[in-house]
Amino acid sequence: MQRKLAFVGTVKVLWIAEQRHLINDAAVLLDAMAANGYYLSRQLLQQISE
């Protein structure tokens, strides 16, 4: 459970960083995290994009 919650916080930080042009592409970083066993729900992705 802690691992999932940590990823949720990380996703929000990455999304904000991308919106402020601090990083080029949050999706690349998210793909790397997913390859290491983290996952996102569709609901979370919708919440982030609102």
* The two three-digit tokens of residue 9, written as one number: 């916080």
Percent of the chain whose pLDDT exceeds 90: 0
Note the pTM of the prediction, 2 decimals: 0.45
pLDDT tens digits, residue range 14-28? 778 888 887 777 778
Residue ranges per domain, the chain?
A: 2-49
- Read out DSSP for 2-48? HHHHHHHHHHHHHHHHHHTTSSS-HHHHHHHHHHTT----HHHHHHH
Indicate the average pLDDT of the chain: 71
